[in-house]
């Protein structure tokens, strides 16, 4: 049995773990990184990267049939589903070196390709190696949650961990789960030539603002995706190519089944009890991301039990580096964390929703909207579906929701404003190039000042005085 002493031992080489490892090692700490599966974790191999690559393939197919308004004769796309998956794996392979074992060993990190489990409060065992560390970081991410639906264990089904290896194009894809993963995959497959039915036990995109979600759901339905809500799956039967899902709101048949009902945090293999680490569905941590019961242990990203976003794990990594390396107080917050669903149109959000802002601030919460249809660039490109909605309190944005083209890009301005506690004037005063979709943000900010300037008797009185008396 080998034994290693180190400053920091990181369990999990996904986005968060890799960020901590790189930052800590380059600042002089001795680092051991454990990974029992694939370097890069879920995001690179099964999540963000492959899903966006498949969505891109779908967009190209869709564009071939929608050019008539621009004078381009529509044509039926000839989709090679297997080749689309080649594109997905090519993208993964291109990014893979950035997350590779070799790159991180180049930083001086000892990478051990084994799962780690706690054997004491200060030790983790990985294969035939015991690592004793001053600090541990649990960055194990999550995996698809597969609910115990009757009959599911008897039929073939896909998750986000298998769907990107599927080479046979589904004739009719049944998607159980109407959240971001389900909706992104539903639209991508529809555009690649599949019939698609989404089955959701509650409301599709139910965690988003209903007004904004409706913009996306209406487009998906227009593209031919069947979305069934309030339909809890009760029983699944059939075999490969012929699957039946019985729900509380009807029975649905398809050729393939995708389970997209949520995520489960990867903590089962960690033997947290031996490490004196309290947990429920995730590690119990404080605002400082330290375990509430073993202060030598941090948990970040999905393992910390909050929002499940790659960029949140990266943010958490910065908190840990500040705390573990420099001994400085650092606490994580979520009010400035944006998220996006990469359907077409996209849906992005940061901060408080309209309902949350009104609940927190009452009548003092103000809401301002601006439609894509009044943005010149959106008109030029035929992308007029959508709107931005900004929640304001005492002159500062406290939340923003965008449903429309490039919403995931446009939300960045609001994420920066909220993170830095900027006033609406900071956005309204910003000069942006014309014509761009980003002007939607500026117009929404300007809408805050419109009634204060143009509907104010006091302003008109001042202007009248200046025009009459000032030469």
pLDDT in tens, 70-93: 999 999 999 999 999 999 999 999
CB 133 within 8 A of CB 20: no
pLDDT in tens, 455-466: 667 766 766 666
Tokens of 428: 């309204």
Q: How confident is the model at residue 467 (pLDDT cuts 50, 70, 90)?
A: confident
Instruction: Name the band, by pLDDT with cuts 50, 70 and 90, for residue 450.
Output: low
Closest CA to 341 of 180, 135, 167: 180
Domain spanning 339-454: which superfamily?
FAD/NAD-linked reductase, C-terminal dimerisation domain (3.30.390.30)
Confidence (pLDDT) at 463: 64
- 9 near 118, Cβ under 8 Å? no
How far out from the chain centre does Cα 81 lie?
25
Predicted pLDDT at 470: 76
Q: Are 215 and 347 in contact (CB under 8 A)?
A: yes
Across the strands, what pairs with 112?
A: 34
What Cα–Cα distance (Å) separates residue 366 from each residue in 49, 58, 348, 400, 452?
Answer: 37, 38, 19, 12, 13
CA 71 – CA 376 distance, rounded (Å): 19
Q: What is the pLDDT of residue 455?
A: 62
124 is written with which tokens? 């983790």
CB under 8 Å to 442, separation ≥6 — which residues? 427, 428, 430, 432
369 DSSP β-pair partners: 389
Asked if the model's pLDDT at residue 451 lies above 80, the reply is no
* pLDDT for 1: 82
454 pLDDT tier (thresholds 50, 70, 90): low
Domain boundaries, the chain: 2-39+100-144+264-326, 152-262, 339-454
Give the model's confidence band at 449: pLDDT under 50 very low, under 70 low, under 90 confident, else very high: confident
Tell me the per-residue pLDDT of 7-45, one tens digit each, with 9 for 90 and over.
Answer: 999 999 999 999 999 999 999 999 999 999 999 999 999
Is-contact 199 247, C-beta < 8 A? Answer: yes
Q: Same topology for domains 2-39+100-144+264-326 and 152-262, yes or no?
A: yes
Place of tokens 């539903």: 186
Sheet holding 195-199, edge to edge: 226-228, 195-199, 172-176, 256-259
Q: Which CATH number fits domain 152-262: 3.40.50.300, 1.10.3720.10, 3.30.420.60, 3.50.50.60?
A: 3.50.50.60
Q: Give dist(CA 138, CA 83) in Å, integer.
A: 37
Q: What confidence score (pLDDT) does residue 465 get?
A: 64
Binding residues for NAD(+): 177-184, 200, 262
3 to 107, 108, 133, 166, 378: CA distances (angstroms): 21, 18, 11, 42, 60
> Which residues contribute to the annotated binding site for FAD?
52, 116, 140-142, 302
Asked if residues 389 and 400 have their Cβ atoms less than 8 Å apart, the reply is yes
pLDDT in tens, 170-201: 999 999 999 999 999 999 999 999 999 999 99
Binding residues, by number, are 52, 116, 140-142, 177-184, 200, 262, 302
Whole-number percent of the chain with pLDDT over 90: 94
Decide the pairing of beta strands 263-265 and 142-144.
antiparallel
Give the number of other Cβ atoms within 10 Å of residue 201's Cβ: 20
Decide if pLDDT at 398 tops 60.
Answer: yes
Asked if 187 and 175 count as a contact pair (C-beta separation under 8 A), the reply is no
pLDDT of residue 261: 96
For 50, the enclosing helix (H) or strand (E) is helix 48-64
Do residues 451 and 423 touch, judged by C-beta distance below 8 A? no
What does R_g of the chain's alpha carbons equal in angstroms? 25
Q: What is the pLDDT of residues 201-258, one digit of tens each?
A: 999 999 999 999 999 999 999 999 999 999 999 999 999 999 999 999 999 999 999 9
CATH topology of domain 2-39+100-144+264-326: FAD/NAD(P)-binding domain (3.50.50)
Question: Quick one: average pLDDT of 113-142?
Answer: 97
Q: How confident is the model at residue 121 (pLDDT cuts 50, 70, 90)?
A: very high
> What's the whole-number average pLDDT of the chain?
95
Judge whether residue 298 has pLDDT over 70.
Answer: yes
CB of 424 closer than 8 Å to CB of 445? yes
- Is 453 a residue whose pLDDT tops 60? no
Q: How many CA atoms lie within 13 A of 171 on its CB side?
A: 7
- Does residue 313 have a pLDDT over 90? yes
pLDDT band at 469 (very low <50, low <70, confident <90, very high): confident
Q: What is the pLDDT of residue 464?
A: 66
Please give the Cα distance from 360 to 342 (Å, whole number).
29
d(CA 26, CA 21): 8
Q: What is the pLDDT of residue 341?
A: 98
pLDDT tier for residue 114 given thresholds of 50, 70 and 90: very high
Neighbours of 254 (CB within 10 A): 23
Maximal C-alpha separation, the chain: 91
Stated pTM of the model: 0.94
Q: In the predicted model, what is the mean pLDDT of residues 403-411?
A: 98
The DSSP annotation for 230-252 comes to S--EEEEEEETTEEEEEETTEEE
């Amino acid at each position: 049995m080998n034994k290693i002493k180190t400053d920091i031992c990181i369990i999990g080489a996904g986005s968060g773990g890799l960020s901590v490892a790189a930052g800590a090692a380059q600042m002089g700490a001795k680092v051991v990184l454990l990974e029992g599966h694939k370097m890069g974790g879920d995001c690179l191999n099964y999540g963000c990267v492959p899903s966006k690559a498949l969505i891109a393939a779908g967009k190209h197919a869709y564009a071939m049939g929608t050019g008539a308004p621009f004078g381009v004769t529509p044509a039926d796309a000839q989709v090679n589903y297997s080749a689309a998956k080649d594109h997905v794996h090519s993208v993964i392979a291109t990014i893979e070196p950035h997350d590779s074992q070799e790159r991180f060993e180049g930083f001086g990190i000892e990478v051990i390709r084994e799962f780690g489990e706690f054997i004491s409060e200060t030790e983790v065992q990985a294969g035939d190696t015991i690592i004793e560390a001053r600090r541990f970081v649990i960055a194990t991410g999550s995996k698809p949650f597969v609910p115990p639906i009757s009959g599911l264990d008897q039929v073939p089904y896909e998750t986000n961990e298998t769907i990107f290896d599927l080479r046979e194009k589904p004739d009719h894809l049944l998607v159980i789960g109407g959240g971001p993963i389900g909706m992104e995959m539903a639209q991508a497959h529809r555009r690649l030539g599949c019939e698609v039915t989404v089955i959701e036990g509650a409301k599709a995109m139910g965690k988003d603002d209903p007004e904004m979600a409706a913009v996306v759901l209406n487009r998906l339905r227009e593209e031919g995706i069947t979305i069934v809500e309030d339909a809890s799956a009760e029983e699944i039967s059939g075999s490969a190519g012929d699957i039946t899902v019985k729900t509380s709101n009807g029975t649905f048949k398809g050729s393939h089944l995708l389970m997209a009902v949520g995520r489960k945090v990867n903590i089962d293999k960690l033997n947290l009890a031996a490490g004196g680490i309290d947990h429920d569905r995730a590690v119990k941590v404080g605002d400082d991301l330290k375990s509430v019961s073993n202060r030598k242990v941090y948990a970040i990203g999905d393992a910390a039990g909050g929002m499940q976003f790659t960029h949140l794990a990266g943010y958490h990594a910065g908190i840990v580096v500040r705390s573990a390396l420099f001994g400085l107080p650092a606490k994580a917050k979520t009010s400035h964390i944006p998220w996006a669903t990469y359907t077409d149109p996209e849906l992005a959000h940061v901060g408080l929703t309209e309902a949350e802002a009104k609940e927190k601030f009452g009548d003092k919460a103000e809401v301002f909207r601006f439609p894509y249809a009044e943005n010149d660039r959106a008109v030029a490109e035929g992308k007029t579906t959508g709107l931005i909605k900004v929640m304001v309190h005492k002159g500062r944005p406290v939340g923003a929701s965008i449903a429309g083209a490039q919403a995931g890009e446009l939300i960045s301005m609001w994420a920066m404003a909220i993170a830095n506690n900027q006033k609406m004037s900071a956005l309204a005063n910003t000069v942006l190039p014309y014509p761009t979709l980003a002007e939607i943000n500026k117009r929404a900010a300007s809408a805050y000042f419109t009634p204060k300037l143009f509907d104010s008797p006091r302003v008109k009185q001042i202007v009248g005085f200046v025009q009459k008396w000032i030469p």
